[in-house]
Structure 1
Amino acid sequence: MLQRELTRDQAIQTGEQILEVLEGQILERGYTYFSNGVVFNTRVEDEILLKSDVQGTQVYHVSLNLQIVQESTCTCPYSRLCKHIAATFFQMYSVFENPRHLLARSQQPRTLKYSPALLVPPFKNGIQYLTGSHTDSWRDGLLDSSTSVAEWWRFFENWTRNLPSAMESFRASSELFSSYENLLGIAVSWPPRRASLFAVHATLFHLNLLQEFVLAKRHSHWSVELSQSAERLLSTLEGLLYYWDPSHLDEGDQKALIETKQLLSEWKDKDALSVFEMLAYQLLWWNLLQAPAWVQQETNEIDQRIADPTTTPTEMEKYRMLKALFLVMDGKDQDALAIWLTSKQLPLAFYLPFLKSFAREQDWVRLLEWTHRLERLIGTAENGQYRLVTAIWREAMKQMGREQECGTKLRAFLPGSFSEYAAFLFDHQQYREWLDLQLSYRTPFPELQAWNMKAIEEMNPTLLLPLFLSEVNRLIDERNRPAYKEAIKLLKKVRSLYSKLNQEMRWNSYLELLSAKHNRLRAFQEELRRGNLNV
């Protein structure tokens, strides 16, 4: 069916777009869905729209735009290009090409193409997207939309009284999110803004509970699983605040915001404030509690604690970290970064909400100032965050008319930018710098492409000698005959390079020294003779 309606060229061109705009992990999940056979009712509409139904948590409806992949849609909660879109693509692609080949390409280093969609939180607007079973009737009447924030928190405490023990006995993250999603179902039928604020507090509560669980049960150790749970809660919080509508707030909304401000203000005096809680604190002040009088009051309280001679060094550090947020809100970015960057505990994720906010506002000058200060963190960030930040950075450089500088400036983002920077150096025939980069980062010799070597040899063979000789030494140091044989093959290549350079005497001298250095390695000496390389 698809073979008659579409062409191989369409499939290949769509695949190239897919590689530009979808993350590797999304493609992997999409491939799994495709392999499990959960894509059905696939059909083509209007010649360019590939429609399908995909069985996930429920049946989702996908529309894949074959001309402009970024305009594709899915009815799932994810607001960006999702695994269901990827699964639909693989269903189509498999008719014309082997999808495993494209999946393998997706695992190679790739440059993410900028789109404003990258700045949108990953979950769609509406509390119904955050709870999987919101139609259950057993929760009706547990709370109503007129209840106060204080009543919400008392209800949360009662709701989760057995949750810590369940988290200890079973998988902690699953138990946490089961509680969280069921709790959100209570507010599904509430007015949207009230439901969103309820979800904000449910998120804060579970983040706080997670911190207490770590302290009580895990001896202050954040495992990968629990860190990922905290990151997921923060991602949800960011989305709730992104879609928050501040217009036409009624009296109940204003009262709830005041209670929110008071509750959050108390967080700064908690004995232990995790990076995740600190980020939640910043997200709320940055996006929700922006009233100048409130900001000034909070700033004054923090200043008082900093000035208090009884404040301990640990508390002082915490208050300075929180104060930095209000410096950013006051436009004093460099002062804030000077504080934050003294801490080795703050990852790039801590700064991402600010970077995305600057990009949304198209404040490219400010964004570039931040990326300059965050170069080390960007270069050492995990791949997804690195690709996101550098995609935004490239757009900022483009908007500022500095696009031509991007290649050279990639060096500042090493080691994360290794592949991109290496490609830039090679494309611009900066072969010496390219080879220095490979040697500095100890790229395994077999991973170097033959066509790279050939291009350098044609341009300037002298440059290859340090690389080849370094690999010869490494192979000899392995002290086994297979490695010696590989070393001999490479030595023959070295000999041909010296010959091409008319430096036979230098070759003879090198080989004599190498043979003398390893004269006790009988197997190596035997391979030298077999290769007609012995002195």
Structure 2
Amino acid sequence: MSVMHLNEKLHALIEEQLNVRVETTIMKRGWQYYMEGKVNSANEGSHDHLYGFVKGSELYAVILDAGNLRYSTCTCPYMGFCKHMAAVYFQYCSQQEGGHSLAERSYFKLLGLSSASMLLKAKQAEPEVPQSVPAVLPDPGKSASAKEWLDWMEATHGEVWRKCRHSLHALQPLLSSLKGLARDWEKPLQRLHWATAILFVLAQAERAINTVDSFSRYYHEMSFIRMAEPWVEHLYTLISELEPQQMEPKEEAWADDLIAHVRIWASSMEKQLFDWEYMYLALCEKLSESRSWYERELSAMLEISKSEDLEEVNAGFLHTAIGMMYFYDMKDELAIEHFALTSFDRSQKAMYPCAAQRMQEQKWPLVEKWMSFLFERVNKVKNGRSVGPFVTLCRRADLDRPELGIWTDYMTQLLPHSYSELSDHWLDQKRYEEWADLQMLVGARPEDASAQALREISKLAPHALLPLYHQSVEASIQSRNRQGYRIAVKQLKKLERLYKADKDTERWEQYLTGLVRKHQRLRAFQEELWKGKLVT
């Protein structure tokens, strides 16, 4: 293949358009096609166009309009910019003077990243500068407090985050080495030290993500969170193993320093990588087993909530934390008062478990208060994130206390958002008539339901499906076209079987006679009835 000189104008035009208009997923698939050698050709044409052919499930012809990417075309069925177009662009780059390296640089640039080869060349080009070996500070030792350890970690390893621009791999050996410093400690103090080390490393990751440009932040966040998952899980395990009521004074002091550190992060108004608020609540729930600690922390949080500088604190976190502490103490009304001062979108994750726990404890007066409070807020926003968990709680409550009709009322008032959950619930409960009424209410047809559900109801309660099929037949006839009439005839045959299964053939004959008379002027419909052998 001959090497061409890059048309800088064409290259710049396409790259600018790709940056603005094309999803990263499409770019990655296009790169995969290019790497697999599926591009047969990529040539520069007139008027800032590129032409190419790509072998997919068949051979696709691609035209790239660099001036305006939306006028680009591909013969594949995908609407909009597709992977075949991206593959042609990368192939075009690889045919230039820079070869594959140019294609690789273009690909990584569009993703907002740097290729390994570019980083290696940049590293080799850097002049070697003699570095002085920093003095290593000795660790504070077993007698030090959590604050002293955090200060030492910051002084000794506080710049490690600078190595984490694209990955958190630099933090794994750091975490292992920090944990190793307490390997010979007693278990209670060791847990607290390890939790401190994990929190320090997570804070380093928070600093690293802030150096990422906004274009690629989302993908880095996903990568960072996945890598940090084992650390976070270990943190929660360590918290669950704490024994607050058996803590020595030194351990209590360490725990106080630790939760104060987490509280600072949880109180921040800035966007964060990890859920520090949930970490605080996990620590708070465990340490509240000690009554003296609980009273101290609650008093401190209430004092902060009355502060004049409340605007500088995340008030949502503050009232969520106070609400949870009142919940731990069985003061649910006070808990609800504080939750009412928070943004429901942020605090609902903490509230749903409160209602679920009271259900498990069979404290139904409290459950009713929580569910009433939650319904008011869910009914205002009505989105999948809120309705789904709430309806799940309603279903659970309806199983335990079916005599309380409020659970069904909540679910029906949240229609159509609760349709799927409510439909499944009534099927599970074998409340077939309510299920059929729900389908009619939302305008669903029998064919929209699962075949398994229809078979089950046809066998156990065929009469429940009759109104649904009646409605479906009328809707098909009202379409006033031949296809609609054919569908109506199919539905009528199923309706006939339902009447026979219900042992009510007399009503079926009356219904069919009335239907034929009602629509006697619809000649095409009468013909379809005759073809279907429903009338003679």
| TM-score normalised per structure 1 | 0.52
Deviation at 1:231, TM superposition (A): 7.2
Give the count of matched residue pairs.
372
Deviation at 1:272, TM superposition (A): 3.0
Deviation at 1:271, TM superposition (A): 3.5
Query: How many angstroms apart in 2 are the aligned matches of 1:281 and 1:268?
Result: 7
**1:445 alignment counterpart:** 448
**1:504 alignment counterpart:** 512
1:160-206 deviation digits (Å, cap 9, x = unpaired):
7334643x424x6x776676566545544432111211232234334
Q: Which has the higher contact order (CA 8 A, sep 6+)?
A: 1
Query: How many angstroms apart in 1 are the aligned matches of 2:231 and 2:519?
Result: 62
Residues 22-421 of structure 1: pairs in structure 2 closer than 5 A: 145-154=142-151, 156-157=153-154, 158-159=156-157, 161-163=159-161, 165-166=163-164, 168-170=165-167, 180=175, 183-184=178-179, 186-213=181-208, 217=212, 235-267=233-265, 269-272=267-270, 276-288=275-287, 295-309=294-308, 311-312=310-311, 315-340=314-339, 343-346=343-346, 349-351=349-351, 362=361, 364-365=363-364, 368-369=367-368, 372=371, 373-374=373-374, 405=403, 409=407, 412=410, 414=418, 417-418=421-422, 420-421=424-425
Query: How many angstroms apart in 2 are the aligned matches of 1:262 and 1:529?
Result: 81
Query: Using a 3 Å threshold, how does the CA distance of structure 1 residues 488 and 504 change in structure 2: closer, same or farther?
Result: closer
1:22-55 deviation digits (Å, cap 9, x = unpaired):
xxxxxxxxxxxxxxxxxxxxxxxxxxxxxxxxxx
**1:431 alignment counterpart:** 432
Deviation at 1:309, TM superposition (A): 4.5
1:263-308 deviation digits (Å, cap 9, x = unpaired):
3454465343768211222222221266556555544554454444
**Mapped contact 2:324–2:335 kept (Cα < 8 A):** yes
- 5+ long unaligned stretches in structure 2: 1-137, 412-417, 500-505
Deviation at 1:435, TM superposition (A): 0.9
Deviation at 1:462, TM superposition (A): 3.5
1:419-452 deviation digits (Å, cap 9, x = unpaired):
65123442xxx43211123445658525143423
**Mapped contact 1:215–1:221 kept (Cα < 8 A):** no
In terms of Rg, which structure is larger? 2
1:45-89 deviation digits (Å, cap 9, x = unpaired):
xxxxxxxxxxxxxxxxxxxxxxxxxxxxxxxxxxxxxxxxxxxxx
Aligned AA (1:263): H
Query: How many angstroms apart in 1 are the aligned matches of 2:205 and 2:473?
Result: 54
**Mapped contact 2:175–2:198 kept (Cα < 8 A):** yes
Query: How many angstroms apart in 2 are the aligned matches of 1:385 and 1:235?
Result: 23
Query: Using a 3 Å threshold, how does the CA distance of structure 1 residues 240 and 312 change in structure 2: closer, same or farther?
Result: same
Deviation at 1:331, TM superposition (A): 3.5
Is 1:464 aligned with 2:468? yes
- 5+ long unaligned stretches in structure 1: 1-140
Query: How many angstroms apart in 1 are the aligned matches of 2:173 and 2:365?
Result: 40
Query: How many angstroms apart in 2 are the aligned matches of 1:285 and 1:264?
Result: 10
Deviation at 1:145, TM superposition (A): 4.0
Query: How many angstroms apart in 2 are the aligned matches of 1:340 and 1:409?
Result: 22
**2:111 alignment counterpart:** none
**Mapped contact 2:146–2:258 kept (Cα < 8 A):** yes
Query: Using a 3 Å threshold, how does the CA distance of structure 1 residues 305 and 434 change in structure 2: closer, same or farther?
Result: same
**2:112 alignment counterpart:** none
Query: Using a 3 Å threshold, how does the CA distance of structure 1 residues 434 and 389 change in structure 2: closer, same or farther?
Result: closer
Aligned AA (1:161): E
**Mapped contact 1:379–1:415 kept (Cα < 8 A):** no
Aligned AA (1:447): S
1:308-333 deviation digits (Å, cap 9, x = unpaired):
45543974444333332343345432
Deviation at 1:505, TM superposition (A): 4.5
**Mapped contact 2:189–2:251 kept (Cα < 8 A):** yes
Query: Using a 3 Å threshold, how does the CA distance of structure 1 residues 161 and 335 change in structure 2: closer, same or farther?
Result: same
Aligned AA (1:150): K
**2:426 alignment counterpart:** 422
Aligned AA (1:325): M
Query: How many angstroms apart in 2 are the aligned matches of 1:348 and 1:199?
Result: 30
Query: How many angstroms apart in 2 are the aligned matches of 1:189 and 1:269?
Result: 34
Query: How many angstroms apart in 2 are the aligned matches of 1:207 and 1:528?
Result: 71
**Mapped contact 1:472–1:491 kept (Cα < 8 A):** no
Aligned AA (2:344): K
**Mapped contact 2:320–2:338 kept (Cα < 8 A):** yes
Query: How many angstroms apart in 1 are the aligned matches of 2:333 and 2:255?
Result: 30
Seq. identity, %: 17
**1:134 alignment counterpart:** none
Query: Using a 3 Å threshold, how does the CA distance of structure 1 residues 288 and 328 change in structure 2: closer, same or farther?
Result: same
Query: Using a 3 Å threshold, how does the CA distance of structure 1 residues 266 and 148 change in structure 2: closer, same or farther?
Result: same
**Mapped contact 2:485–2:528 kept (Cα < 8 A):** yes
Query: How many angstroms apart in 1 are the aligned matches of 2:226 and 2:196?
Result: 19
Deviation at 1:256, TM superposition (A): 1.5
Q: Secondary structure at the match of 1:244?
A: coil
Query: How many angstroms apart in 2 are the aligned matches of 1:404 and 1:432?
Result: 17
**Mapped contact 2:161–2:208 kept (Cα < 8 A):** no
| TM-score normalised per structure 2 | 0.52
Query: How many angstroms apart in 2 are the aligned matches of 1:322 and 1:410?
Result: 31
Query: How many angstroms apart in 1 are the aligned matches of 2:291 and 2:271?
Result: 25
Query: How many angstroms apart in 2 are the aligned matches of 1:149 and 1:187?
Result: 13
